[in-house]
Amino acid sequence: MNLLLNRASAWLDVGSYLPYEGKVIFKNKTARKAYVRVPAWVDKQAVKCRVNQRDFPRHWLNNYLIVEELTPQGVVTVEFPVVDSSEKQIEPSYGQEYPCRFKGNTLIDISPRAERLALTYDVSDDGSRFPVNKGYPLYQADFYKQLKARMKKVTRCISPVII
Q: How many whole angstroms separate alpha carbon 108 and alpha carbon 85?
A: 10
What one-character-per-residue DSSP string does 58-113 give?
--EETTEEEE-S--TT-EEEEE-PPPEEEEEEEETTTTEEEEEEEETTEEEEESSP
Write down the pLDDT at residue 119. Answer: 62
Question: pLDDT tens-digit profile of 97-150?
Answer: 989 999 999 988 888 876 665 667 778 888 888 777 655 566 777 788 888 888
Q: What is the pTM of this model?
A: 0.78
* pLDDT tens digit sequence for 58-104: 999 999 999 998 999 999 999 999 999 999 999 888 788 989 999 99
The distance from CA 35 to its chain's CA centroid, rounded to whole angstroms, is 17
Summarize pLDDT for 3-27 with one digit per residue, the tens.
899 999 889 999 999 999 999 999 9
Classify residue 22 as exposed, middle or buried by CB count within 10 Å of its CB (0-12, 13-18, 19+). Answer: buried
Domain ranges for the chain, please list them.
12-79, 84-145
